Chain A
């Protein structure tokens, strides 16, 4: 029994350099606690700036306590695992979602930082595949534009999988880089068989 547990999760100590044969989970590269306060801090800063001009955003202030309750729950219920064949994501506070991506279908890997991330040394890791459940389908009719320009781009920056993307926000910059390298290594070790489908 102990062996199995060890096989499933041999890397219990955080911040060790990843071993290719082991399974990486959110315990190794966690979403930082600072991420919980990211949106509240931005709202407070916006309001403080607005107050200089004699104005404030009442609805955003109403959202503050909701965020402070919801974000820790979202963070606690978000799990990812990088095993031999699949990139697995488990998420959801009330409605649960478990998604598995084969490494072969990953189309591209992003590391992004916005201004807040830049100041506090965080980064968002984003993995995309070519499924149509996201980009195409989720564009509302009032946002639809002709041509392939910007439809569905940059719409959702939430946590975990939505559409064709998987976002892991609030990682430390260095953790994001290591995780990215690890995923790239996995992509390299699991070459795709067909140039189109990736399956």
Chain B
């Protein structure tokens, strides 16, 4: 699968552990509930002599679990491959979604918030999510770079904060100059 590369992604690469983590989070609930169903069937089947049904159920349930896990794994691998983020000179571009792509572009001046966080599984895998958002709700939902290692996360955060600072500072100075000129 072609990995959609950008300069930013080369510099701050997405961790391959992201695929594993997403596979675990995506299938954990279903796997656990199927296992519980299997245990219930096992307990109830032990009373009677219906070993045939038990064998069929075991085959079906474990087959389903395997199917779901592999399906999720390949979907996440695809998702990982098309995950595109680029910090250009003027804009932040993040594009994701293999089947229904959505691309968000934010000017640096509009970034309100940059933070790095980890949930429980992120801590187990040692990966980080870099969030950034402008003043709209949908940007908070869409604009994040998930699953980078510590080095890349710190690098991304540092780069973002620095660029935002520079951009706001530059515009501010320009305006101060403009105001001074009009006053004179």
| Residues of A near any B CB (own CB < 8 A) | 106-115, 117-118, 128-130, 135, 148, 150-154, 164-165, 180, 184, 187-188, 191-195, 198
Contact = CB atoms under 8 A, between A and B. Distances in A.
A130 B141 contact: no
B89 to A, nearest CB: 9
A40 B152 CA distance: 46
Interface string B109-144: 110000000000000000000000011111111110
A192 B171 contact: yes
Interface residues of B, number: 28
24 contacts: A107-B136, A108-B105, A108-B110, A108-B138, A109-B104, A109-B105, A110-B102, A110-B105, A114-B100, A115-B100, A118-B101, A128-B136, A129-B136, A153-B137, A153-B141, A165-B138, A180-B105, A184-B91, A184-B105, A191-B171, A191-B174, A194-B175, A195-B172, A198-B110
Interface in B86-105: 90-91, 99-105
Contacts of A194: 175
A152 B134 contact: no
Contact of B106 (A108, A115, A195): A108
Contact of A195 (B91, B105, B139, B168): B168
B141 A111 contact: no
A193 B171 contact: yes
Contacts of B134: 107-108, 130
B135 A130 contact: yes
B138 A154 contact: yes
B107 interface: yes
B168 A164 contact: no
A111 B168 CA distance: 26
B110 A112 contact: no
A112 B100 CA distance: 7
A152 B137 CA distance: 8
Interface string B57-101: 000000000000000000000000000000000110000000111
A126 B136 CA distance: 12
Contacts of B104: 108-110
Contact of B136 (A130, A151, A180): A130
A195 B109 contact: yes
B101 A107 contact: no
Contacts of A115: 99-100
Contacts of A152: 137
Nearest to A185: B90
A108 B140 contact: no
A2 B140 CA distance: 47
A108 B102 CA distance: 13
B109 A192 contact: yes
B86 to A, nearest CB: 13
Among A108, A109, A117, A148, max chain B CB count under 10 A is at: A108
